Chain A
Amino acid sequence: MHVKIQHVSKTYASGGGYAVKALDNISLTIENSEFVCLLGPSGCGKSTLLKLIAGIESSSSGSVQVGGAHMSGPSPERGFVFQEHALFPWLNVRDNISFGLDMKRLDRKTKKNTVNDYLRLLGLEKAARLYPKQLSGGMSQRVAIARALCLNPRLLLLDEPFAALDAILRQKMQEEMVRIWRRENKSFILVTHDVEEAIYLADRIIIMTPGPGTIKDNIPVSLPRPRIRTEAGFIQLRGKILRLLQSDEPETGDLLPLACITNERLKPVLN
């Protein structure tokens, strides 16, 4: 699905009569069946940008067009996978996945078959009757992905989906992500702060910097798939991106958010 973002800014009202500028003049285009990663340190507005594309939040200025139409709230056309997976604790795995299908007028058999397909695709057949509380982090994330995918969205938005997983499981999920993306022919936009993850997954990496969130660079990744993390090209690109991310960090790197607060990021709203 084609996404076109033009001069988008987003300002939050925060406590104490201040406004926080989370995004400043973002312009970005995402092509059909492209895999794009939004990469940057925390506080760079990458999740906010993703939520704008989902329609969960609205921009303060500028325009967001998805599939040629202007944004008007969330839609099942745009699947969203939350960082904290946001599964419904009162529904078992099967019912969580079919939640979106229940909203459509489908006959029982079609619904059941679709759910079965996605249970299989994500290796969840044995977990179908379990409740979210009984699932591990990786399993929960798979359910969240299956729940978004089974509605056949043209665009899948993923907000740091693997951040809470251990390194081995994260790699496995990344491999599965590529497999699913190649099979499904949809656009994927994935937010991450993990450089390696971005290089492994993306056709294109959008590098964002905080205070306020802006796009710093737009790096196409032309390495052939499946990508190998120890290959020269991979390591070279990793070094390049790390340098890019580090170059704008002030000397007191850890104090970045504070530096933003004292600068232009916060402006009094009341006067």
Chain B
Amino acid sequence: MNRPTKLLSYALRMFSVAGFLLVWMWLVRANLIWPLQFGNLPDPIDVIATWLSYLKQGSYYKNILVSTARVLSGIALGFFTALPIGMWIGQRKLARDALFPSLELFRPIPLIAFLPVAMLLFPTIESSIIFITFLGAFFPILISTKDAAGRVPPSLVQSARCLGCGPARLIWRVYLPAMLPEVFTGLSVGVGASWMGVITGEMMSGQTGIGYTTWQAYHLLDYQQSIIGMFTIGMLGFASSALVRGLERTVIKWK
């Protein structure tokens, strides 16, 4: 893209955000109650002002940090369990027949529906929330790893064996790198689901975190904070997927 088109593209993007804020402002100030009760929403100018004051407070960052830590532990747990299991059931029909049906039974259940069981199973609220984020990451990574393991070209495996590669090394030197692009696809879906899980868990049962404060603010009639929480969650999700994409680009150099 040449420079003027690039500038134009940036200008258009800024314009889009400004336009959204203007529409919001107009809807609130006109105090519309039909088709939706826009009059109930706080004014965007007030929201931005409050947000700026939050940016100076430690508690705002602390909540972000708490939620991020939960998501990261959930993803780490999900990744390191889903990867070997996915590889195993993708490779061996026996494992697939033995494990996959019961895993498939759990997969369609929305994360929020796991919460009662999670609360019963885990001694602390913290661990039950992490369990929900773990589930969010686990299934997408499991499915993509399983599919990828079944799709590793046999000629690559055969040629590695002809070059003296034993079974253990085959996993590290052939299967894993061959599966990596698809594993990353699963990871980015998993990261999104993990954020969904942490917000759900915090809203339902938490005492800390960005999901908790967003829901708590609603009960305290602090609608500005609810909206700030909402956008903060959006930005965190956006940053996470950008991070995964960046990681993917650094690791997968050969594409």
The majority secondary structure among interface residues of chain B is helix
A99 touches B162 (CB 8 A): no
Distance from B161 Cβ to chain A, minimum over Cβ atoms (Å):
5
Interface flag for B159 (CB, 8 Å): yes
| A216 CB to nearest B CB, Å | 28
Residue on A nearest B159 in the bound complex, by CB: A86
B164 touches A90 (CB 8 A): no
The answer to whether A103 touches B177 (Cβ under 8 A) is no
B163 touches A131 (CB 8 A): no
- Contact status A82-B254, CB under 8 Å: no
B156 at the interface (CB under 8 A from A): yes
Q: Which residues of A contact B178 (CB under 8 A)?
A: 88-90
Residues in A with CB closer than 8 Å to B160 are 88, 99
Interface centre among A76, A82, A84, A90 (most CB of B within 10 A): A90
Give the CA-CA distance A75 to B165 in the complex, in Å.
9
Interface residue A21 (Cβ < 8 Å from any Cβ of B): no
Is A104's CB under 8 angstroms from B177's CB?
Answer: no
- B32 to chain A: closest CB distance in Å? 55
Q: Which of A79, A80, A103 contacts B165 (CB 8 A)?
A: A103
| Distance between Cα atoms of A244 and B159 in the complex (Å) | 34
Q: A89-B254, A99-B173 are in contact. Are A76 and B159 (CB under 8 A)?
A: no
Q: Is the CB–CB distance between B163 and A82 below 8 Å?
A: no
Asked whether, in the complex, the Cβ of A74 is within 8 Å of the Cβ of B162, the reply is: yes
Instruction: Please tell me which one of the listed residues B155, B169, B252, B255 contacts residue A82 in the complex, with CB atoms under 8 A apart.
Output: B155
Q: Which of A74, A78, A84 has the most CB of B within 10 A?
A: A74
Q: Assess the A131–B173 pair: CB atoms within 8 A.
A: no
Which parts of B160-189 form the interface with A (CB within 8 Å)? 160-166, 169, 173-174, 177-178, 180
Binding site for B on A (CB under 8 A): 54-56, 73-76, 78-80, 82, 84, 86, 88-92, 99-100, 102-104, 131-133, 147-148, 151
* Closest-CB distance, B168 to chain A (whole angstroms): 11
* Given A84-B155, A99-B173, A103-B169, A90:B254 Cβ within 8 A: yes
Contact (Cβ within 8 A) A76 B163: yes
Determine the chain B residues whose CB is within 8 A of the CB of A78 once the complex forms.
162
- Across the two chains, which residue of chain B brings its CB closest to A82? B155
Asked whether B253 is an interface residue with its Cβ less than 8 Å from the other chain, the reply is yes
- Name the distance in Å between A76's Cβ and chain B's nearest Cβ: 4
Q: Which residue of B lies closest to A92 (CB)?
A: B254
Ordered nearest first, which 10 A-B pairs have the shortest CB separation? A100-B163, A76-B164, A86-B155, A103-B164, A86-B159, A90-B177, A80-B162, A131-B254, A74-B162, A74-B161
CB pair A90 B163 closer than 8 Å: no
Q: CB-CB < 8 A to A90: which residues of B?
A: 177-178, 180, 252, 254
**Inter-chain contacts of B165 with A (CB < 8 A):** 99-100, 103
B177–chain A nearest beta-carbon distance, Å? 4
* Contact flag A82-B161 (CB < 8 Å), given A88-B174, A99-B173, A131-B254: no
Given the complex of chains A and B, what is the CA–CA distance between A78 and B220 in angstroms? 75
Q: How far is the CA of A147 from the CA of B163 in the complex (A)?
A: 8
Name 8 extra pairs, CB < 8 A, besides A74-B158, A89-B254, A99-B163.
A56-B158, A74-B162, A78-B162, A80-B159, A86-B159, A90-B178, A90-B252, A100-B163
Contact B158 A86 (CB under 8 A): yes
Chain B's closest residue to A56 (CB) is B158
Q: Is B84 an interface residue (CB 8 A)?
A: no
The verdict on B153 contacting chain A, using a C-beta distance below 8 Å, is: yes
Minimum distance in angstroms from B190 CB to a CB of chain A: 22
B156 and A86 contact, CB distance less than 8 A: yes
Complex CA distance for A76 and B241, rounded to whole angstroms: 43
Measured between beta carbons, the chain A residues less than 8 angstroms from B253 are: 131
CB distance from A79 to the nearest CB of B (A): 7
State the Cβ distance, A52 to closest chain B Cβ, in Å: 13
A100 touches B164 (CB 8 A): yes
Q: What are 19 A-B contacts defined by CB distance under 8 Å?
A: A55-B162, A73-B161, A74-B158, A74-B162, A75-B162, A75-B164, A76-B163, A80-B162, A82-B155, A82-B159, A86-B159, A88-B174, A89-B254, A90-B177, A99-B160, A102-B173, A133-B255, A147-B163, A151-B164
